[in-house]
Amino acid sequence: MNKSTISKYLEISKIIINRIESGELQAGDKVPSENELIKTYKISNTTARKSLLEVELNGWVARIKGKGTFVLNRSEDKHLTRVLGSFNAVKANFNENLIKEGFTPKNIILEKTVMENGISSNINGRNYFIEGSVLKIHRLRYGNDILLKDETRYISMTCCPRINLMDMQESALKIFEDIYHLKLDEIQRTLGTTIFLPGESNNYFDTEIPLAVFILDGAVISSDGKIVEIEKSFYRGDKYKFSVSAKPQLFNGEKQANQNA
């Protein structure tokens, strides 16, 4: 390999690392593929491959077979950042996100039962109610043997018949769309906070000191107005950060509505 080739793959690897260090690429984000690097920088397959390998050897990314190369979580406190307001972010698979960020996921199901009389929840000042049979799934979600999320989901069995027979390893929204062919129209979510004290019956985080947690309440609504799912989850406050994503057209639509009022 000649000197120009060596300097080229090092140059490209530094560009990728700089994008990670600047925050342009966040933990769990997919970095450009070999084909994308070839197209962007007009380089050979070998140079593209070595560029990604160099970034990986420096501990910035990890390759997942059949998925791509993803940015690892290198922050000292290992905070996980999750996006509110993005439909694609809500659809993301919890376990896959952790793997992409360099964590080993584990799930423990505490309860999986069918409730016959429905469930309701107040979210953003509105009452959401699922009628009929509801599947309740209460599970603890770990990363590297640390409990990150205490999650309870209530899923309409009218919208999703026999969903209680599924293992629910895929993202729930992906199951709703791909298996039950539901057209999802709206997702409502609120984020609050509370303190869990050691020894409380509902505190599964097993800490010896009071722990701040985020409370996420959510509802998934189909295009025909039916409530498909209600969620209530607790996120460990010292491990999570939440960011907000909003598209410009939302503001433009609100401005137009105000003008027409």
Tokens of 244: 């907000």
Co-location of 37 and 119 in the same domain: no
- Domain of residue 110, residue span: 80-248
Digit-coded pLDDT (tens) for 183-197: 999 999 999 999 999
**In CATH, what number is assigned to the domain containing residue 21?**
1.10.10.10
Co-location of 221 and 114 in the same domain: yes
Co-location of 28 and 85 in the same domain: no
Co-location of 55 and 135 in the same domain: no
Co-location of 139 and 114 in the same domain: yes
pLDDT at 65: 85
Confidence of residue 251 (pLDDT cuts 50, 70, 90): very low
DSSP string, the chain: --HHHHHHHHHHHHHHHHHHHTTSS-TTPBPPPHHHHHHHHT--HHHHHHHHHHHHHTTSEEEETTTEEEE----TT--EEEEES-HHHHHS-HHHHHHHTT--EEEEEEEEEEESS-EEEEETTEEEEE-S-EEEEEEEEEETTEEEEEEEEEEETTTSTTGGGS---S-HHHHHHHTS---EEEEEEEEEEEEEPTT-TT--S--SS-EEEEEEEEEEEETTS-EEEEEEEEEETTTEEEEE---HHHHHHHHHHHHH-
Co-location of 121 and 220 in the same domain: yes
Cα(156)–Cα(225) distance, rounded to whole angstroms? 13
* pLDDT > 60? residue 260: no
Question: What is the model's pTM?
Answer: 0.75
Tell me what the pLDDT averaged over the chain comes to.
88
Distances (CA, A) of 153 to 113, 130, 140, 219: 11, 12, 12, 10
* pLDDT > 90? residue 66: no
Co-location of 239 and 121 in the same domain: yes
Identify whether the C-beta of residue 34 lies closer than 8 Å to the C-beta of residue 64. no
Cα(171)–Cα(168) distance, rounded to whole angstroms? 7
pLDDT at 257: 44
Co-location of 135 and 186 in the same domain: yes
Find the mean pLDDT for residues 65-91. Answer: 79
Among 48, 71, 94, residue at a domain's last position: 71
In the block, tokens 């009218």 appear at 158
Digit-coded pLDDT (tens) for 198-239: 989 999 998 889 999 999 999 999 999 999 999 999 999 998
* pLDDT > 70? residue 180: yes
